[in-house]
């Protein structure tokens, strides 16, 4: 039995959810998100909750149960609150600047990195060393943050690079004298 899957997903006020043609659509104050439903799982919208249960007792149905419930919960949270990831840039001369639909990164390369902002994602730079990525789709926000971080991952000697806020970088010692 999935401990996560057993919990119903609460639908707050101002959010509507409906199932049609194998697609769950959730509409809220921030926008609309959809999820393609799995055949192994049965979904039920009961007033202000969404119930997710395995359609049969196969191993695959039990494996998808908790994950599908979490994906449904992510839809509801996305259209009500949204998701935000914050990246911090550390290093001499490393900086970021958002310019319209592009993020301009100066990361010590011989050229500037221009990162195009995908549809449905908003990027803010409160200062030169902080990048805030926000949107309603949790997967897309995390993917954009990972793609930006990939340009210059934090290195273990001086800690220079792009890291998530709150991420711990294991620092290596220098040479012993």
Tell me the per-residue pLDDT of 147-173, one tens digit each, with 9 for 90 and over.
999 999 999 998 899 999 998 988 888
Task: Report the CATH number that the domain containing residue 30 is assigned in CATH.
Answer: 3.90.930.12
What pLDDT shows up at residue 114? 96
CA distance 99 to 103: 6
**What pairing do the DSSP bridges indicate for beta strands 41-46 and 83-90?**
unpaired
Q: What is the pTM of this model?
A: 0.89
Residue at a domain's end among 81, 116, 132? 81
CA distance 158 to 177: 18
Which residue has tokens 């998808």? 64
pLDDT surpassing 80 at residue 120: yes
* 88 and 157 inside one domain: yes
Q: Is residue 3 part of a domain?
A: no
Q: Is residue 23 part of a domain?
A: yes
What pLDDT shows up at residue 155? 92
What pLDDT shows up at residue 67? 94
């Amino acid at each position: 039995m999935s401990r996560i899957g057993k919990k119903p997903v609460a639908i707050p006020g101002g959010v509507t959810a409906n199932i049609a043609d194998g697609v769950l659509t959730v509409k809220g104050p921030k926008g609309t998100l959809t999820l393609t439903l799995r055949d192994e799982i049965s979904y039920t919208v009961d007033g202000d909750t969404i119930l997710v249960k395995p359609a049969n007792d196969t191993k695959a149905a039990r494996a998808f149960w908790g994950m599908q419930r979490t994906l449904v919960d992510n839809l509801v949270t996305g259209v009500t609150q949204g998701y935000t990831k914050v990246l911090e840039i550390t290093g001499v001369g490393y900086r970021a600047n958002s310019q319209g639909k592009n993020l301009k990164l100066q990361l010590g390369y011989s050229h500037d990195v221009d990162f195009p902002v995908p549809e449905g994602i908003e990027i803010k730079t409160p200062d030169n060393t902080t990048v805030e990525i926000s949107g309603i789709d949790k997967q897309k926000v995390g993917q954009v943050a990972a793609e930006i971080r990939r340009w210059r991952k934090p290195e273990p000697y001086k800690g220079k690079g792009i890291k998530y806020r709150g991420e711990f970088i294991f620092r290596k010692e220098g040479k012993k004298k």
